[in-house]
Copies of this chain bind each other. A is one copy, B any other.
Amino acid sequence: MLNKALVIGITESMLEQPFWTRIESQISELKFVAKESPEIMQELPSVDCLLINFGIEIKKEHIDLAPNLKYIGILATAFGKVDVAYAKEKGITVTHLPGYSTESVAEFTIAAILEQIRGLHEGKERGKTGNYSEAGMKAMEIRGKKFGVIGLGSIGTRVAEIAQGFGAHVQYWSQHRKPEQEAKGIKYTELNELLGSSDFISINLAQAAETEGMFGSKQFNLLKKGVLIINTAPMELINIEALGAALTKGGLTFILDHSDEMSQEDLTFLSKWDDCVIYPPIAYITEEARVAKQEMFTNNLEGFVSGNPINTLKD
């Protein structure tokens, strides 16, 4: 049992009541504050638990203010702006939500590709207006095409497996080789070769110093004519100006799932091209992911209180 939790940037509506009931049975008192509230500094000395949303800053100075702090539960996959190294040094358990939206994002990736290559938007519009002619519509298949996955983590692996089900020739590039996936026929390919030979490319890399801006004019110039790229990873991986130049040149369709991190300027810039399809951030919003997120967040807390912590920071 924990004494007092400071809940930062998570409102009551973000979790359903049964989850709050379970959380309240593990913690005597919950204090809700908004992101960047001045109350945070005041409350830290008296809490032994932090429950925080994605992007909340927990730095050394915050941790030093909270001598009783034992547990930080993050309502997100990424550790974000938590100084996990310092927390660890202080013996604080930090948990996160790995993989709750893996399937949601992987299925969205394939869904958005199919929507594009089958002209479903146009088809649905025609049907709605009583025009049942297919005249002028074009379509292509995934089967038999080269399907490149860049970044073979949990989402990339599921994208690759589903693409294999369609009969695509799946190739991948990742920072580390994945022998287990290679044994299933997912072929390792050098990045430049993958860029130059793939008909479809799914970008599934995490954002890090070495991946930011890694897709620039050199990479876009290597692409096969007619390629479709879908990026469900952060747009920080893409040099926006180089993407614009590639879209102007033509022969490229680029689909993205817009996250809050993109600037309005970049959005306005990219929306100039019909071949750039910008979705609201709907890749991760399945009902299954929404429930799994709350379940995992609650399980993490229960695991810690019962002495069996799960989903903690790996060394």
Contact = CB atoms under 8 A, between A and B. Distances in A.
Contact of A287 (B127, B138, B258): B138
Contact of A121 (B124, B138, B258, B280): B124
Contact of A130 (B121, B162, B271): B271
Contact of A144 (B111, B258, B288, B289): B288
Contacts of A132: 258, 267, 278, 280-281
A120 to B, nearest CB: 5
Interface in A122-139: 123-124, 126-128, 130-134, 137-139
A279 B119 CA distance: 10
Interface in A78-115: 103-104, 107-108, 110-112, 114-115
A143 interface: yes
A235 to B, nearest CB: 12
Interface stretch (A17-25, A40-48, A164-172, A189-197): A164-172
A277 interface: yes
Given A115-B124, A118-B108, A161-B165, A139 B285 contact: yes
B286 A140 contact: yes
A296 interface: no
A126 B165 contact: no
Contact of A115 (B120, B130, B143, B287): B120
B286 A123 contact: no
A137 B271 contact: no
A142 interface: yes
A77 to B, nearest CB: 17
Nearest to A257: B123
B118 A107 contact: yes
B137 A282 contact: yes
A241 interface: no
Contacts of A120: 111-112, 115, 120-121, 279
29 contacts: A104-B139, A107-B118, A107-B142, A107-B166, A110-B114, A111-B114, A111-B118, A111-B120, A114-B114, A114-B115, A115-B120, A115-B124, A121-B124, A126-B280, A127-B271, A127-B279, A130-B267, A132-B258, A132-B278, A132-B280, A133-B280, A134-B280, A134-B281, A134-B285, A138-B287, A143-B288, A144-B288, A161-B165, A165-B165
Given A124-B279, A132-B281, A134-B282, 18 more contacts: A111-B111, A111-B114, A112-B118, A112-B120, A114-B114, A120-B120, A123-B279, A126-B279, A127-B277, A127-B278, A130-B268, A131-B280, A137-B285, A141-B286, A141-B287, A141-B289, A144-B288, A165-B166
Interface of A: 103-104, 107-108, 110-112, 114-115, 118-121, 123-124, 126-128, 130-134, 137-144, 161-162, 164-167, 258, 267-268, 271, 277-282, 285-289
